[in-house]
Amino acid sequence: MSALFRLTVTETKLFFREPMGVFFALAFPPILLVILGSVPSMRHADPALGGLRVIDLYAPIVVVMAIAMFAVNGLPQLLGTYREKGILRRMRTTPVKPGLVLAAQLLMATALSVSTMVVILAIGRLAFQVHLPSQLAGYVIAYVLAALAMFAIGLLVASVASSGKAAGAIGTVLFFPTMFFAGLWVPRASMPDVLRRISDFTPLGAGVQSLQDAAGGHWPQLLHVAVMLGWVVVAGGLAARYFRWE
Amino acid sequence: MAIIEVENLVKKYGGHTAVDGVGFAVEPGEIFGILGPNGAGKTTTVECVEGLRSPNSGRIRVCGIDPQSGDGELRQVLGAQLQESELPDKLRVGEALELYSSFYRQPADWRELVEVLSLGDKVRTRFKALSGGQKQRLSIALALIGSPRVAVLDELTTGLDPQARRDVWELIEQIRDRGVTILLVTHFMAEAERLCDRLAVIDAGKVVAIDTPAGLVSRVDDRQRIRFRPSGPLDHAVLTALPEVDSVERAGSQLVVTGTGDLLLAVTTVLARERVTAADLRVEQTTLDDAFVALTGRRIES
């Protein structure tokens, strides 16, 4: 346990030594929420959105964005680089398994993205009167499933990429469509039916809707839970099958 | 009782047999060298000893442990320094050592280790900012952080300048004096000659000889080498025709004649007959280099 603790502390220190990574993973999602919330029209209740305001829709979107920053932007590049440099291979010569690096990364990413979520919820509540999740258990389940699905995809990218650079590039390319279907540019409620249908089957489309449902006091829909679980199983299974330590 | 035993080790990659029946035994407290040209199977052999690769056949024991047993006991007694293994750029020396000591049951005191390895003033330096020699010393420190009984060091002076190389050699002798058995992979003759108590010469996946450096040299003791600058053109054939001569090579303006028996007399007699004088004539003693050529039929570094 002490090795895992040491590794998590060390990986966290290393994370905070990359200012760009810190900015995009921790600061950018809350800043985006503040910017959107500053636009007056975002704060007007819209009957077309069932009486919700656009800012209410964006809170879960920036929450999943914080997950995506870690899962597809950070993790694949880091693991790819560690593999390229023989860091994971060196760990194989020690009593701990290189898988512990992965565990440390997941612990760190989970702790940091959960704290970003708390910050986002707090800013939303205090600055823009966005209601805190009324169905808390549903919210937590939706959050955990969305995070697992995204980390599974990130690990799959790390498995298939030939180098750290390639993993970073693939991750960045994946980031945009997943965030598009999460509703970053057009929230799901305003999407045409076809797009929203596609979005239902993407990990963050399902994630955002589940968070939105839980925020409004409902349990996540079965379809979305199944979609997220499906991504966890398929991407996670492929990653486990193809992941190489060296 | 040997601390490392390797018997009939075979490792194939596809159709290629990288290691073909290698065997040796290392005694406690020895610096045992594995010497051979690039691609001879040295690294594959030690990777099997380290448990990083599974052999196709053969038997390996390190402190009585089978590296393939997978219960992690080997990792507590064996420290490995790998070829070309880095650390995260922004990780500090002290942080790396603290982290790696948390992996072991009975870690060495890393603060003492950095002093021994002359890294004491680099504890707060990031990996990226270290020189090649400092990175190698850190790599050795990480191999020793678990207080291993055996350390496997693979090509650890490759890429270092001569001074850094000599410093590392001194360090390895100090480590042996602390009671650690060392398995050293190298393709540098000078390194093998300077450090190793015994050597296994490996070529094309097979052990060609196991002996002390002096023992290897004495096996080919009757070989001599004469080096001189001929005063005029000389047909090599008149020299190679001599029964004493094995080979004649041109090295710049010099000729290098290798052979056995009364080589000097035979060569000078021919030179006198051909009316050629030999300037800067030197008779060279057999070195480990020559022993290697005699054993494998080729030079290790070309």
* Final residue in a domain of this structure, among B162, B184, B213: B213
Would you call A6 and B78 a contact, using CB atoms and an 8 Å cutoff? Answer: no
Measured CA to CA, the distance from residue A80 to residue B173 in angstroms comes to 37
Q: What is the pLDDT of residue B302?
A: 45
Does residue B300 form part of some domain? no
Q: Is the pLDDT confidence value at A1 over 60?
A: no
Q: What is the pLDDT of residue A243?
A: 83
Q: What is the pLDDT of residue B18?
A: 92
Statement to judge: residues B177 and B270 lie in one domain: no
Count up the domains in chain B and report the number: 2
Statement to judge: residues B28 and B102 lie in one domain: yes
Q: What CATH number is attached to the domain comprising B92?
A: 3.40.50.300
DSSP B261: S
Residue B198, beta-bridge partner list = B32
Does residue B294 form part of some domain? no
Q: Which residues of B touch A (CB under 8 A)?
A: 50, 52, 72, 75-76, 78-80, 82, 84-88, 90-91, 95, 98-100, 102-105, 142-143, 146
Q: What does residue B31 show for φ and ψ, rounded to 5 degrees?
A: -105, 110
Measured CA to CA, the distance from residue B128 to residue A125 in angstroms comes to 44
Handedness of CA A209, A210, A214, A215 (dihedral sign): negative
Could you tell me how many CB contacts below 8 A there are between chain A and chain B? 60
Mean pLDDT over residues B178-196, rounded? 90
Q: Is the pLDDT confidence value at B218 over 60?
A: yes
Does residue B290 form part of some domain? no
Does residue B27 form part of some domain? yes
Count up the domains in chain A and report the number: 1
Statement to judge: residues B81 and B58 lie in one domain: yes
Statement to judge: residues B204 and B228 lie in one domain: no
What domain range includes position B116?
Answer: 4-213
A17 touches chain B (CB under 8 A): yes
Statement to judge: residues B33 and B164 lie in one domain: yes
* 8 Å CB contact between B281 and B226: yes
Measured CA to CA, the distance from residue B281 to residue B277 in angstroms comes to 10
Measured CA to CA, the distance from residue A114 to residue A92 in angstroms comes to 31
pLDDT per residue as tens digits for the range B220-266: 766 788 899 998 888 888 888 888 888 888 888 888 898 888 888 88
Statement to judge: residues B153 and B97 lie in one domain: yes
Measured CA to CA, the distance from residue A150 to residue A156 in angstroms comes to 10
Statement to judge: residues B13 and B133 lie in one domain: yes
- At residue B273, the 3 state secondary structure works out as helix
Statement to judge: residues B44 and B147 lie in one domain: yes
Mean pLDDT over residues B143-151, rounded? 93
Does residue B292 form part of some domain? no
* Final residue in a domain of this structure, among B184, B213, B242: B213
Measured from the Cβ of residue B39, the count of other Cβ atoms closer than 10 Å reads 13
Statement to judge: residues B229 and B209 lie in one domain: no
What domain range includes position A191?
Answer: 2-242
pLDDT per residue as tens digits for the range A101-122: 888 999 999 999 999 999 999 9
B148 vs A contacts (CB less than 8 Å): none
* Final residue in a domain of this structure, among B175, B190, B213: B213
Statement to judge: residues B122 and B170 lie in one domain: yes
Does residue B80 form part of some domain? yes
**Quick one: tokens of B218?**
């004495």
What's the Cα-to-Cα distance from B108 to each of A97, B29, B197, rounded to whole Å?
20, 18, 26
What mean pLDDT value characterizes chain A? 92
Q: Which of residues 76-115 of A touch B (CB under 8 A)?
A: 82, 85-87, 89-90, 92-96
pLDDT cut 90: percent of chain A above it: 76
- Triad A152, A115, A231: Cα angle to 5°: 15
Measured CA to CA, the distance from residue B13 to residue A199 in angstroms comes to 46
Does residue B21 form part of some domain? yes
Name the minimum distance, in Å, from the CA of A39 to any CA of chain B.
40
Does residue B299 form part of some domain? no
Statement to judge: residues B135 and B280 lie in one domain: no
Q: Is the pLDDT confidence value at B25 over 90?
A: yes
Q: Is the pLDDT confidence value at A228 over 80?
A: yes
Statement to judge: residues B148 and B267 lie in one domain: no
Measured CA to CA, the distance from residue A71 to residue A56 in angstroms comes to 24
Measured CA to CA, the distance from residue B91 to residue A193 in angstroms comes to 49
